[in-house]
Amino acid sequence: MAHQKGSTVDILLGFEDTFGTAAADGFVVQINSLGVKANRNLIVPATLTGTRNPAAPADGNLTVSGPIVIPVDSGIMPYWCAAMFGNPTSTGSNPYVHEYKIADTMLSFTLEAAYEDLGTSKYDRFLGCKVSGFNITVGGDGELTASLDIAGANESMASSPFDASPTSVSLARLDNFEAAILEGGGSLSNATELSINIDFGLDLDNYVIGGSGILGAIPEGIVGVSGNIKTLFEDTTLLEKAINSTETSLKLTITNSASSVFEIEIQELQYERNSPDVPGPQGLLVDLNFQGFYTNGSEASAVVMRVTNTTASYDVTTSSSPSASVSASPSPS
C-alpha cells in the first residue's frame, strides 16, 4: 500500500467568490509545513440507558484551524498578503511595488492539500478560510520564515482538485541577512531580533442553527499589531522612548535585489516600559515589547506590507486576474 509523503504534497490556494464555496482558480504555493486541520468533538451524553454502558456519543461543532509556515519571499507573498489585506495598490514600472493595508473586510479562500501518493488520489479541502494571525521573527542564522494562523468554516475530502490546471507561482526567497530596520525614521544597526505579530480579530463563534455545526460566517474585528525588539545595550534611546511613552515607528525591509523586496511598516507605535536586567557577565540587551496603532499616520493603516517584484498587478478577486500568469523572478544565487 502506498504511503503518502509530505515532500510530494502540493498546496493549492484559491480565493472564493462566495464564502465557503470552493474557489474556481487555484495557485500552487510552496510552504514549509501545514498544520491546518478539521476537528469535530464527540460529546459524551449523560443519557441513562438502564445499564452501566455508555450511550452513543453525539457530534459537536466542526472547527477548522491551524498554522501554515511559509518561506518569506517576494513571489508567493503577494497571495498571502491578499488573504490578509485584499487586493493591493500597485505602482512603479518593472519593478512594481504592491502595497497592502488594513481593509474593512477580508477575502475568504480555499486551501487544499493534494495527497497523490495514495492508490487513489485525495484532496483535503478547507473552505471559507481566513487568516487569523501573522507572525514573523527576523534575526539569527536560520531560514527566514513567517507563520500564518488559519481559521476556516468547513472541510471535505474530495476525489478531484478544485482547480485541475492550477498556476504554479515561483518562489523568490529572501534571507535574514538581507534585512534592515528603520526606527523612528533612522537606521537601527544594533538590533539582534525583531518580531512582528498581527491578530486579525476574527469572530469564530458564529455557528448557526441548521448549519450542520459549520460556521456560518467569520466576521472581522479590530486588528491587533504588536511585537518585540531586542537591541544591544549601547545607549538608552529606546529605553527613554519606552519610559516617556514616546510615539515612534518601525520599518522592516528585506531586500534581495531591486526587484525582490518585502517590507512591513508600523507607522505609529509605543514601547512597553521594561528595564534591562543583568543575567550574567555577557553583553546586555534592551528587550522591549511594542504596540502598533493608527491615529493620524499618513498611511491610514496600523500596519502596511509592501512587496516589490516584476509582476505588474494582482487582482485575486477576478478569474481573469493578471496573476493567473505570474512568473516571479527567483532569487539570484
User: What single string gives the DSSP state of each residue in 74-122?
Assistant: SSSHHHHHHHHH-SPEEEESSSEEEEEE--SS---EEEEEEE-SSSS-E
Sign of CA dihedral 306, 309, 314, 316: negative
For the chain, give the mean pLDDT. Answer: 93
Half-sphere exposure of 54 toward its Cβ, with a 13 Å CA cutoff?
A: 7
Asked whether residue 46 is assigned to any structural domain, the reply reads no
Q: Give domain status of residue 254, yes or no.
A: yes
Helix H or strand E segment including 237? helix 237-243
> In the chain, how many domains are there?
1
In a domain, 47, yes or no: no
- The predicted-structure confidence for 274-331, as pLDDT tens digits, reads as follows 999 999 999 999 999 999 999 999 999 999 999 999 999 998 886 444 343 333 333 3
Q: For residue 123, give the 3-state DSSP assignment.
A: strand
Question: Does residue 126 lie within any of the structural domains?
Answer: yes
Could you tell me if residue 169 is inside a domain?
A: yes
- Whether the full predicted model's pTM is greater than 0.85, yes or no, is yes
- At 105-161, the pLDDT tens digits run 999 999 999 998 888 999 999 999 999 999 999 999 999 999 999 999 999 999 999
Cell of 215: 460556521
Which residue segment(s) compose the domain that 65 sits in?
Answer: 6-38+58-317
Half-sphere exposure of 174 (CA within 13 A, CB side): 30
The C-alpha atoms of residue 172 and residue 256 are separated, in whole angstroms, by 9
